[in-house]
Structures are given as C-alpha cells and as structure tokens.
Amino acid sequence: MNLELGFFPQGEIEERVERVPTGIIDPLLMGGIPKGSVVLLIGDPKSGKTTFITQFMYNQLIGGANVIGLLVDVSRYEFISNALDFGWGLMGYLNDKLHILDAYTQRLRGGPKFSFTEEVIPDIRDTSQVIDVIKDLTTKIILNNPHVDNPLIIGAVSSLTPLFFETEEKQIYKFLEDLKAFAHKNKQVWILEMNSGVEEPHVETIIKAIVDGIIEMKLFEEEKTLRRYLRVYGMRRTRHVLSWIPYEITESGIVLQNQNL
C-alpha cells in the first residue's frame, strides 16, 4: 500500500498547530488531532467505533486531560464495564477528570423531561440544551483548574445515531455548527460516533462538510472474509495519510496493522 501524505513536507504551519495525540492513529495524523476540532468517527456496525472512542477517552485521561463523555446509546455502567474488558480503568477518574453525561437512561425510560442531577440529559432531542450543558461543564472545569491556563478538554459522543430517529436533520446540522463554533473558540477536541448507512447519503455528506475531520472505519469483504480498515478521510489544518489502514481489535484495543507506520 502506498502511503502518501496529502500535505507537503513539514514546515511552519505544522509546527504551529497544537495537537492532541490519540494514542491510536497518531502516525496517520502527524502526531494527533489539531486542537479546536470536531471529528466525525463514522463506520459500519461492529467495526469498533465505541472501542475507539473509549480507548481515545482513556488515553486522554492518563495524559491528564479533562474528558466529557456524552452517552446516548449505552448506559454509564455498561460503558465503564466494557472499558474494563480492555483494561481501561475509567472508574478512578469519575468525579474528577471524567465527566459522563447520561443521555441514555431517560431516552430509554421515556422518563420525565427534566433532570434531577446535572449529569443526566433529560431530553437528547433538545440539542440546544445539550450545548448549554457542555458550556456549563466547560466553565466548571475551568473553575476547578484555577492554576492551569486553559485546561485541555476533550469531548466524545457515543453515538449520534439515535439523534436521527428523534430530531429533525436541520437541527442536527445546527447542533454540529454550534458545537464546532464552541470547540474552535475553546480549543476543544470532540469525537462524534455515527453509524454509516443509517442516514441517506446526502445527510452523511452534509455532516462530513460541517465537521473539521472525518475518521472512517469499515469492514471490507475480501475473498469471502471481512477485514477491518480505518481511514482519515479529511482533517483540517494538518497533513494526514489518505489510505485505508488495516487494524485489529486486540485485548488492548485498536491496533493499526501497517508495518510502515
């Protein structure tokens, strides 16, 4: 496989860009995702998207960052328990660096559309409220880190998919544009999980047009066997590899298979 970077030799820009290492695909990205980016993680069912998100969150936590995890289609308990299967202990970071926003429980229960605790999103359809919660949490984190200048905040959404059943498409576009404006301003990195093939192609195209970066995970069928591939389709403000890279899901999470990286 021919791995070419979409950008010419490293230089001034590349050096100026501040990056967040993912611990997973950094060789594809000149070291990491540029700060101030909203990244779409789109892929086939069972390709390992949630594993990627969890691994990314854990790597941020051990690196010292603050992490906001918005859970839409998985419970808080299960998310943490699944992470443990890979040896990623999220539990210890709760109430400290890790902030889980639970948008799952009320959605499943169809419960009251208001929240008793600040970490429960009562109604995921109200996307402007979600933006407000993210803003409040950002403020709180900054206040909790008085001695850190501009503390690094990483966000993850697992996953966008249920939003499409309950929310008008235009409202989702607006949510993404709002989140992007906020992330740019505060130099946050957000990774948003989404199933491919659930929405019509033009919807996927519009979302890809709005976000700053796109990571794709795909199961290719080759000679009657499925193989897992991952690609950085695009990423603003950085050079990146433009090829599909094979990967495995191992006991310690996602591992790229390309020897040259």
Burial of 58 (0-12, 13-18, 19+ CB in 10 A): buried
Assigned token pair, 110: 């169809």
Judged by CB under 8 A, which of 146, 202, 259, 260 binds a second copy? 202
The distance of Cα 100 from the centroid of its chain, to the nearest Å, equals 14
Nearest to 148 by CA among 69, 91, 66: 66
Q: How far is the CB of 33 from a second copy (least distance, A)?
A: 14
The answer to whether residue 89 forms part of the interface with a second copy (CB under 8 A) is no
User: Which contiguous run of DSSP H or E holds residue 101?
Assistant: strand 98-102
Nearest to 156 by CA among 78, 18, 60, 64: 60
Nearer to a second copy, 209 or 261 (CB): 209
Query: What whole-number distance in Å separates Cα of residue 72 and Cα of residue 97?
Result: 20
Assigned token pair, 120: 């429960």
Nearer to a second copy, 118 or 177 (CB): 177
The answer to whether residue 46 forms part of the interface with a second copy (CB under 8 A) is yes
The answer to whether residue 260 forms part of the interface with a second copy (CB under 8 A) is no
Q: At which residue do the structure tokens 């010419």 appear?
A: 8
The answer to whether residue 257 forms part of the interface with a second copy (CB under 8 A) is no
The answer to whether residue 228 forms part of the interface with a second copy (CB under 8 A) is yes
Q: How far is the CB of 96 from a second copy (least distance, A)?
A: 26
Cα–Cα distances in angstroms (integers) from residue 148 to residues 16, 33, 141, 143, 166, in the given order:
21, 21, 10, 10, 39
Q: How far is the CB of 6 from a second copy (least distance, A)?
A: 6
Q: How far is the CB of 2 from a second copy (least distance, A)?
A: 6
Nearer to a second copy, 85 or 118 (CB): 85
The answer to whether residue 170 forms part of the interface with a second copy (CB under 8 A) is yes
Judged by CB under 8 A, which of 142, 151, 186, 227 binds a second copy? 227
Q: How far is the CB of 40 from a second copy (least distance, A)?
A: 10
* DSSP code, position 180: H
CA angle, 213 then 179 then 152, to 5°? 80
The distance of Cα 184 from the centroid of its chain, to the nearest Å, equals 15
The answer to whether residue 173 forms part of the interface with a second copy (CB under 8 A) is yes
The answer to whether residue 237 forms part of the interface with a second copy (CB under 8 A) is yes
| Residues forming the site for a second copy (CB under 8 A) | 1-4, 6-8, 11-14, 16, 45-46, 73, 75, 78, 82, 85-87, 108, 161, 165, 170, 173-174, 177-178, 181, 184, 195-202, 205-206, 208-210, 214, 219, 223-229, 231, 233-237, 242-244, 248-251, 255
